Every structure is written in C-alpha cells, then in structure tokens.
Amino acid sequence: MRVRTARIAAVSAVALLGTVLVAAQAEGTGGHSSLKPVVTGLNGPRGVAANGSKIVYSLGDGSVYEAWAYGTNKGIKKLGTVPGGFPPAVDTDRWGTTYALTGAGGEPGQPLPPGSATLFKLRPGKSPVKVADIAKYQLKDPDPYNLADEPTESNPFGVATLRDGTVLVSDAANNDLLRVWPNGKIKTVARLKPRVVKAPAEFGGQLMPAEAVATSVTVGSDGYYYVGELRGFPATAGTSEIWRIKPGSVNAVCDPLKPNKGSCQRYADGYTSIVDLAAGPHGTIAVVELAKATWLAAEPPGTPAIGSLFLQYPGKHHKAGYKKELAKGKLVLPAGAAINRYGDVFVSSPLFGPGAIYRIK
C-alpha cells in the first residue's frame, strides 16, 4: 500500500504544489496566531518532537537534529541520519532518547531498500541502532480489511514513545497500530477498518469504501493512544477520524460502524488528510492536515497547497470538544507538530523544498 496511502499523499502533494516549493509563511500578521521561525534554511522538514526546552526535527535526507526551541537557529546539534529516502517520523522519550521511523522507500512494487520501514534509536556521534524491522513483522501480520494492493505491505508513518520504554508505530499501509519493545518484539495494538464515504463528484459521487491510512499516533495526557487517519482513495474531505485506544490493548478493532464499542473508540471526526498528531497538557491534541482540499484534490498549477493545524480540546465522555485553528491560511503542506510541557506548539512546513520549523505565537 505504499502508493495508495501516505506515500501517494506525498507524491500527490508534490503535484498539488506545482512549481511552488518555497514556504509562503513568515512571522505572521493578522489572525489570532502567527509563526515564529525556530530553525530556518531546512530542506523538506517533517518530523517534530518536543524535549523540554529543545525540539527534535527530521529532514528529507533522513537526517535528524536537535535545537533550542526559543530563538532562531540556536543550539543545533545533529543526532544522526537514517536511510529510507523520505524524512523519518521522530519522537523522544522521557530519558531523552530519540527514535526515528523510516517509511517505505524505493519504487512501488519493488523490494524495499535496506533501512526502509524500520524503527531506529539514535546515538549522537554514532551509527543509528536498528530496533525493529516493521516491514518484516507485517509480512506475518496482513491487514484483514485490505482493499487494494498487498495486505502485507508496510509504510510506517507515525511514532510515539511510551513511559515504559516501548514505542508505538502507526503503519499507513497496513492500517494498524503496533507496539515495539526495546528488544525488537512487536505486538499489534489495534487495526483500523475502512470507512464508506461519498466520492467527490469528479470520481462519480457514489458511496464507496476507503481505507483508514493510519498516518499518526500520539499519547494523550490521559495515557490513551490516539491515532489519526489520512483517508485513502477517494480521499473525501471531512472523513478523517481520530481514534482513542485503551493502553495495553492487543488486536483491538477501530470500526467506523461501531465507533463507541470496545477498546478502540472514535474520539473525533470531520478532519481532512491528517498526517500528524501531537499531545499537549490538559488533554489538548494538535492535529496536522496536509492539505485543506485533501491530498488528492486538484489545485491550479503553481498554487501552494495550504494545510491546517488545529488544537483539539477535550470534551465530555472521552470525546473531542471544540477545536481552534492556529496560523490559519499560513501553512503550506505542514507535515509534523509537537507540543512541549509549557504548552507551546511547533510545526514543520512545507514537506517538500525549502522550509522551517515554527513556533506558534
């Protein structure tokens, strides 16, 4: 499912962007929030993680860095470089150890290049340590709800560390959530079922099943796991869900037809093309939408694809409450977000070409 999921989103995003590969952002004017550059001059920034007064971020060449979160281009330190051909997802645990997750690299239909679909632990000044081969595990863990391509395909896309030293991985091809132990052991936490959506008019307007595409995962302040969806073809706007999964679950099912049953329940609905989640204090969650018009929507040539960053607040009975858009209209293809312990929100943009890491003010 490398092509029809998050990797399709990436390729489609390039098409949406046309010839515009320069971020449209600047330290903001107007609106209720603006963008303060933290690290500039980056090529293809994606993953962002918070580590106290520092942030960790990844770039298109697979490199991962740490920088001070306050100021511009301060305290930058390289943590390592991983293979894979696409900027990795990153997260840092409570002890300051950073993990980098590579996705499916190489050409569609061909064997994965070495280092693709793998979870690595980074050690500054040393080679990354391979923790687990996600693609190898998925060969024996096929998606039972697969709609297209091979049910054993893997494209790990989201990562989140847990307080016990294990790591959560969301797989955008296998449509599941995995838990990885330091010794490489893996268990399937939950599987996301397809959802019936109404196709856009350009695709016939009929009802059809669309895969979940589990791009993102974070651990809420309540300890529950939250997983966000991109939504597979036909990528209908407003059909991306966020699921809330009970800690310690194994083989839970996230079912759009039974969204309030079992260990995996729907937390929020109505989003479009989610590519990252980040948990903050008091139950808040930052939600990154790659493109407001969905990853598959057509844009006029040369027009930058504007995405969104929302701060989702909790509601009652373990459901989402109200949400607030940050830096509205100012983010071109945002890819990753983080919230530190002080409640400050950070975002990377754009996913392709020259970009930066910003702090929302």
- Contact indicator for 320, 313 with CB cutoff of 8 Å: yes
Would you say residue 61 has pLDDT above 80? Answer: yes
308-348 residue pLDDT tens: 999 999 999 999 999 999 999 999 999 999 999 999 999 99
Topology of domain 6-40+140-340, CATH: Neuraminidase (2.120.10)
154-204 residue pLDDT tens: 999 999 999 999 999 999 999 999 999 999 999 999 999 999 999 998 889
Secondary structure of 139-183 in the HEC alphabet?
A: CCCCCCCCCCCCCCCCCEEEEEECCCCCEEEEECCCCEEEEECCC
Look up the pTM and report it: 0.92
- Contact indicator for 267, 243 with CB cutoff of 8 Å: yes
> Left if phi > 0, otherwise alpha if psi is -120 to 50, otherwise beta: which for 153?
beta
Other Cβ atoms within 10 Å of 204 Cβ, number:
11
CA–CA separation, 26 vs 329, rounded Å? 12
What sign does the CA torsion over 346, 119, 155, 263 have?
negative
